[in-house]
Chain A
């Protein structure tokens, strides 16, 4: 590591800076134009560029991830001789326009998420089959491969990194009060009670954005009912008004007295800062929580979500995966597949992680010696997991999640006592939405 590391960095540095600038310039243009226009513009650019160019639509618009992606892309350009035209679009805008983007003039390769959120577009015929690229991959686990596979059994997705969800805490706070890490629900509740006695708000919690609460729902559901039920529920095959789902809400209600007050008016950043300022004791979120910790990140650690039903233990981990897809309208398929093949290698992941250390590489041959202690325990958590779930909004139909579940979870947090009414309402809306398939 010692000698090749710095050397690698110096050689890859200058193209990085240039490509970052270029990506920034394209990104700035894309933000000012409606993204549909931007997509058209980049598409027509690709048409005239010939066989050595591949276009890439990136939704990694935050500074750190953007630089990481640019570094990985630069590695591909220098090793393959191809030119990659990166078109960076604001993360949320990209997501909101994905339908029109894919049907309009998409880039050859673009950034997206694993799970149902990818399978949906594969089913609609908007993605290119990359099973042949996958057959050349090494170091990808079966669980990762399953998350990259469409409902038709073909592979469509090249994963880059993931970030596990767990219960985060500050080591110094736990050491100061002599807290033990809980592994079961009863210990978890007992710990929360103790924290309350010690003058801490036990659990940082926020749901103004609508999605952070989904992580807690997913975990309680998987601990109570198991991973298979989670998959089946998200797939629309289970009854939301049945006793299993009601049990999830009933169990969740036990936690509410320990939550930060005013959670529905807080963003995840605000409640993460409360954890960082030692006002609160624990928080269930993804590893990206570290972004709010600054230099205190070395004091941040986590434990796996506590077990509720011993039959399921702590065997499932929620670890959303981000990566790349090939669009069905790719103009330069050969080059695009070469790019995707490169992005699935440990080298590409190392390039990315050298810039953004809050994620974990998916490839088993990723060099983990540079990992922070947090990353190392994250990698251990996921590698020992029996099953990996994505996240409610990635495992489930987007129309159902964004128009029903966000509201439903907020309703529950406001009025936790009418679980029956809530579950019936979810089930009725679910039936209506799922009836309108295709």
Chain B
């Protein structure tokens, strides 16, 4: 599908690119002959350009994405310390992972918690911000910048900021709460393994909401105002207009936001690494992979097995999500 869609504009300069994947069947039947005639008219230089433009991205995708993915899967069945040759050990790494590696279950739970928090709280919050800002309220520009600001910061920086806020003895929060004095028991926001994950989620959600807000702002600008007018004429109230008309129309944005939410939840790493190296209540799959593969540990096979688990979770989430979305689109 893709190459063809890319090819056509190059050949038919003026024709509107009918690149929609679901082309009408009769159109599809007529196309091939025309396309064949046109391709023959391509000069050597055109072909060279096409080969380079298509070939290089394909090559990079293959080398940087697929080859490395396959290599990880292969390595996950071996025992390798990074020196010398790898030894095939079957599924031992996976057995070990599920039965004899305490941080693993914690990390999976944290990643799912992260996903749930972003999907159920941060993303809807971003949508709410976008809807409010879209109404052209006073100081809208200011709110927009303020909410978008954290997106510009890297998560590592956010990690440092959260230490300033949540540090036990001299953090802003405990100072404001007035619990830092003599004989008091201030909440250990960062050191207590039952609390720190929530602190990190709030900080990650703060950033994620801004990101989602910008995407939805763009989406809302693209909604045809006549649809809203029509809904109003039919007697729909504001809520009905939004949930029955505006929101479904933004389907392309919804898909992007959904995928981004999943990706953000599963690749989360820098904020916890900046806070305490991803230990003591802040375990994440990405951190376990890093701990095992990078650094002196060099349990490369074992770390690859964790990476494969993460791959399966992300592919599973994204495929399931996209399939439901696309199926709904068709119906």
Q: A402–B288 Cα gap in the complex (Å)?
A: 11
Chief secondary structure at chain A's binding surface: helix
Contact-size category for B: 35 or more
Q: Please judge, given known A-B contacts A265-B190, A425-B102, whether A407 and B279 are in contact too, CB under 8 Å.
A: yes
Interface residues on A, range: 20 to 34
Query: Cβ of A180 < 8 Å from any Cβ of B?
Result: no
Could you tell me if B193 and A414 are in contact, using CB atoms closer than 8 angstroms?
Answer: yes
CA distance A425 to B104 in the complex (A): 13
A172-215 interface with B by 8 A CB criterion: 208-210
Smallest Cβ distance from A117 to chain B, in angstroms? 8
Could you give, for residues 76-101 of chain A, a 1 whenever the CB lies within 8 Å of some chain B CB and a 0 otherwise? 00000000000000000001101110
* Contact yes or no, B84 A264, CB < 8 A: no
Chain B residues with CB under 8 Å of A432's CB are 96, 100
Q: Is the CB of A208 within 8 A of B96?
A: no
Is A251's CB within 8 Å of the partner chain B? no
Residue of A nearest to B189 (CB): A265
Q: Which A residues touch B192, using CB under 8 A?
A: 262, 264-265
CB contact between B295 and one of A96, A209, A428, A429 (< 8 Å): that residue: A96
B167–A433 CB distance below 8 A: no
In the complex, chain B residues whose CB is within 8 Å of the CB of A398: 295-298
Report which of A99, A407, A428 forms a contact with B296, defined as CB distance below 8 A. Answer: A99
Known: A124-B83, A264-B280, A407-B102. A96 touches B299 (CB 8 A): no
A410 to B279, CA, bound (A): 8
Residues of A within 8 A of B167 (CB): 265
Contact A403 B299, beta carbon cutoff 8 Å = yes
Knowing A210-B279, A265-B168, A406-B279 are in contact, say whether A399-B102 is a contact too (CB < 8 A): no
Residues of B within 8 Å of A402, CB to CB, are 291, 295-297
CB neighbours of B296 from chain A (8 A)? 95-96, 98-99, 117, 398-399, 402
Residue ID in chain A nearest B195 by CB atoms: A265
B191 at the interface (CB under 8 A from A): yes
B79 and A209 contact, CB distance less than 8 A: no
Q: Which of A399, A410, A428 is B280 in contact with, Cβ under 8 Å?
A: A410
Is B82 in contact with A99, judged by CB distance below 8 angstroms? yes
Residues of B within 8 A of A (CB): 79, 81-84, 89, 96, 100-103, 167-169, 185-186, 188-193, 196, 276-277, 279-280, 291-292, 294-299
Q: What are 6 A-B contacts defined by CB distance under 8 Å?
A: A98-B296, A263-B191, A265-B168, A265-B189, A265-B192, A398-B296
Chain A interface residues (CB < 8 Å from chain B) = 95-96, 98-100, 103, 117, 124, 126, 208-210, 261-266, 398-399, 402-403, 406-407, 410-411, 414, 425, 428-429, 432-433, 436, 438
